[in-house]
Amino acid sequence: MSASVAGVRTLSAAHARRIALAAQGFADPRPTGRVDARHVRRVLDRVALLQIDSVNVFSRSHYLPVFARLGPYPREVLDRMTAYVPRPRHPELFEYWAHAASLVPVRYQPLLRWRMARAHVEPWANIRRIARERPGLLDDVRRLVAEQGPIVAGDTGIPRPAPRPGHMWNWHDGKTALEWLFFAGEITTAKRVNFERWYDLAERVIPADVLAAPTPDPVDAKRELVRISARAHGVATEPDLRDYFRLSHADTKAAVAELVDTGELAAVHVAGWDAPAYLWHEARRPRTVQARALLSPFDSLVWYRERTLRLFDFHYRIEIYTREEERRYGYYVLPFLLGDTLVGRVDLKADRQQGVLRVQSAWVEPGQDPGHVAIELAAELDVTAGWLGLDGVEVMPRGDLSTTLAEAVARTGPTPAAG
């Protein structure tokens, strides 16, 4: 399982994979009874944040990591923990740029203030341009939010420009100003309606005791973020640790060195990994992992594709922004985790009008038993359809697993829809 080379402990690739899965919560059995906020908090204690994405062809991405670890749960539980419902009494999560756009526990807000203070240099160019070229607009929008918040971008009264080829976001300057204020931490998401963000002053959304907490020194804050990342990874390279909260190489390298000095991280060698690795001192080291889960493209287990390849020998790229004729696997493709291995992938669409979970394509990984994978995947798809309130699963004839999966789905009785 492990050895020592030149004084550095060596882990097998399989051992490292199981450590990583345990750190992300996949070594725990799914609850068998009622799932409530306590279970969701336990997931958040493991993963630390949930990435947000607007694509809704299957499900909003932030719901999926919780489902992958807990199985069916009331999505309203997560909604009540966020600002996605009007005025929760005690919101536990807020939106910010942590790992991309993310839902983050409010207790981590002080750890991200150094990034907020760098709003003039950290965001992408168009947001920086607004602060540089139109400071008066920032003042006007800031005043509008203070007087009328929560507001949507359209309330700024600035028309949207004509669509521009090659631009994913067609923001007007009012929206861009709101996003600068959002990055700076002055405003945040008060709620979402049909996923449209409603902005309000941070002081009217984030709990007062959080905002009143002292602002840590940036070095201390970044070290704590690396500590959180290390705990969520179990075992990781420096680039892995850096990517979780999108930190710089220099900051992460310095924090790792300090955590090694304190004994919280131990330098290890993982067989087959080119880069040095670091083991969290409290990482669980299970002998087996018996997981079964469909993973969102934005799940923290797989969002850093280089790590996914290293851990699972699984080459994964999201093809949402690829032209249809150039896609290899499909539009919204989810890896399928079985045991401690990524054994296949499926392109899923929730056809709410027809009431079915449609498998647009299904693929098995080389060396895996298609029959076994199909049986387990059919069972997980059935549970997923029920959680989404759909009546059944339909498999389209695309992909090297599609025929076998369709047969397995036909043998699987439908799970009653949630609600």
**Domains assigned to the chain:** 10-109+213-280 (1.10.10.10), 123-161+168-206 (1.10.10), 317-412 (no CATH)
Question: What percentage of the chain carries pLDDT values higher than 90?
Answer: 84
Is residue 167 scored above 50 in pLDDT?
no
Segment 110-120 mean pLDDT: 97
Question: For 313-401, where are the alpha helices, taking DSSP H only?
Answer: 370-387
Is residue 419 scored above 50 in pLDDT?
no
Per-residue pLDDT at 368: 98
pLDDT tier at 410, thresholds 50, 70, 90: very high
DSSP string, 206-251: S-HHHHTSPPPPHHHHHHHHHHHHHHHHSEEEHHHHHHHTT--HHH
Mean pLDDT of the chain: 93
> Which pTM value belongs to this model?
0.93
Cα torsion at 370, 375, 381, 387 (round to 10°)? Answer: -160
Which CA distances in Å does 373 have to 57, 157, 283, 302, 388? Answer: 24, 53, 29, 20, 22
Could you tell me if 40 and 77 are in contact, meaning their C-beta atoms sit under 8 angstroms apart? yes
141 exposure class (CB count in 10 Å sphere: 0-12, 13-18, 19+):
buried
Is residue 161 scored above 70 in pLDDT?
no
Could you tell me if 144 and 156 are in contact, meaning their C-beta atoms sit under 8 angstroms apart? yes
Helix (H/G/I), strand (E/B), else coil: 358 = strand
